């Protein structure tokens, strides 16, 4: 099942978060969205998670809840860190790990990303592992080399039966307004799926959802989702607009034959 995920990044306080989720839910209800056909997840800041979780539960909304980061440690003297145990108690389903803004802004290497992915999986949640190349990587090594290396490192420590999602986000496309082409996204996602098959077998490769992220909008999402190996989208800024995000979720209306 396709997955459309909205990463709010460091935006919206808990009151604004409640308002946005309500607007999104109303918008999707108006168009009779089938959450069994396309899954929808939102990734608010940590301070919003409890408020959003309470709203989802009280109103029986079918949106999945995601967190933007996690500590590699379960508990202890790690001031400011958030444990996967805490997130699991909030009915969190997905947790982002390895986002380029964490890798580059906070110096998180493949070892930290792998430890975080393992922490998420061992608490019964699904790590959404972000991989992607910078403009320099693209120039020097091509599109797939760095994402493949990041993939291998991140899933090496995961339990064999752990579910995971891969989000391919070319760093040069994030927030740039210049997204990768659908063909570029397909090329890298096909390579990622082939590598998952080598590492975890054909069944896991077929079942693992590969998302594209990087300047996704309602005008271009259908092109990505037409590709054989793109199973969804990780949406940034556009997810802060309930109407625009709703239009992205409804991508099937723009995909020929859907």
Per-residue model confidence (pLDDT) at position 192: 98
Instruction: Quick: pLDDT tens for 100-159.
Output: 999 999 999 999 999 999 999 999 999 999 999 988 888 889 889 999 999 999 999 899
Are 45 and 15 in contact by the 8 Å Cβ rule? The answer is: no
Tell me the CATH number at 156: 3.20.20.70
Tell me if residue 207 is catalytic: no
For residue 33, indicate whether it is catalytic.
no
Task: Kindly name the residue from 39, 101, 169, 186 that is annotated as catalytic.
Answer: 169
Q: Tokens 């990041």 identify what position?
A: 150
pTM for this predicted structure = 0.96
Task: State the total domains in the chain.
Answer: 1
Q: What pLDDT digit, counting tens, does each position of 204-229 carry?
A: 999 999 999 999 999 999 999 999 99
Catalytic residue chosen out of the listed positions 39, 99, 108, 133? 99
Supply the range of the domain harboring residue 168: 3-254
Question: What pLDDT, on a 0 to 100 scale, did the predictor assign at position 257?
Answer: 47
Q: Are 67 and 46 in contact (CB under 8 A)?
A: yes
Summarised one tens digit per residue, pLDDT across range 159-169 is 999 999 999 99
Give the pLDDT confidence of 11-52 residue by residue, as tens digits.
Answer: 999 999 999 999 999 999 999 999 999 999 999 999 999 999
């Amino acid at each position: 099942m396709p997955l459309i995920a909205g990463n709010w990044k460091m935006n919206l306080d808990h009151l604004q978060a409640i308002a946005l989720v309500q607007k999104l839910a109303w918008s999707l209800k108006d168009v009779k969205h089938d959450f069994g056909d396309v899954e929808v997840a939102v990734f608010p800041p940590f301070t919003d998670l409890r408020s959003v979780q309470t709203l989802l539960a009280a109103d029986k909304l079918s949106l999945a809840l995601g967190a933007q980061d996690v500590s590699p440690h379960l508990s202890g003297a790690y001031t400011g860190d958030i444990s996967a145990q805490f997130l699991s108690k909030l009915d969190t389903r997905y947790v982002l790990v390895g986002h380029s803004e964490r890798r580059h802004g906070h110096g998180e290497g493949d070892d930290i990303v792998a430890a975080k992915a393992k922490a998420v999986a061992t608490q019964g949640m699904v790590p959404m592992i972000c991989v992607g190349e910078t403009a320099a990587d693209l120039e020097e090594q091509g599109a797939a080399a760095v994402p493949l290396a990041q993939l291998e490192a991140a899933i090496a420590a995961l339990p064999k039966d752990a579910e995971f999602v891969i989000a391919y986000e070319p760093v040069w496309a994030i927030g740039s307004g210049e997204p990768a082409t659908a063909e570029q996204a397909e090329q890298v996602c096909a390579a990622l799926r082939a590598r998952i098959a080598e590492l975890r077998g054909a069944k896991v490769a077929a079942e693992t959802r590969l998302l594209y992220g990087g300047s996704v909008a309602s005008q271009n999402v259908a092109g990505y989702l037409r590709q054989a190996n793109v199973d969804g989208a990780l949406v940034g800024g556009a997810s802060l607009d309930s109407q625009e995000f709703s239009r992205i979720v409804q991508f099937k209306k723009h995909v020929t034959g859907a």
